[in-house]
Amino acid sequence: MHELAIAEGLVDVVTERLPGTKISEVRLEIGALSGVVADSLRFCFDLATEGTELEGASLQITEPGIQVECRTCGDTFVPDGAGGSGARGAPILLCPCGSADVKVLSGQQLTITSVKVA
């Protein structure tokens, strides 16, 4: 259950970037390969923001799909089992050519994209 630490991390980032600023909305990108479960993060967000400038802010999470480039054949592909946004878990990143030597282009995002100032 590392999502609490993740939620605390995002509070740290926002309060350091915008000290003393009341925040009404936080927007995140959580990729399916990031190792973070969006639902668990939503659960922890209220706990982590309590008593901070983010308390009561809404949390909007986009879950970008997985896209991978094969280092062997050069193809870009969406791996089997990567069911786009909302997909849980991390599918095996095996290229149709048989190679597992791949570079992840999308899916590892763990990013605060923007916040809305109240």
Residues of this chain that interact with another protein (CB under 8 A) are: 1-2, 5-6, 9-10, 12-14, 16-18, 24-25, 27-29, 33-36, 58, 60-65, 85-86, 90, 92-94, 99-101, 106, 109-118
Q: What is the DSSP letter of 34?
A: S
Q: Which is nearer to another protein, 69 or 112 (CB)?
A: 112
- Minimal distance in Å, beta carbon 7 to another protein? 9
Within 8 A by CB and 6+ apart from 37, the residues are: 3, 88
Q: Are 93 and 65 in contact (CB under 8 A)?
A: no
Minimum distance, C-beta of residue 9 to another protein, in the bound complex (Å): 5
Rank residues 55 and 101 by Cβ distance to another protein and give the closer one.
Answer: 101
**What Cα–Cα distance (Å) separates residue 63 from each residue in 20, 36, 76, 86?**
29, 11, 19, 6
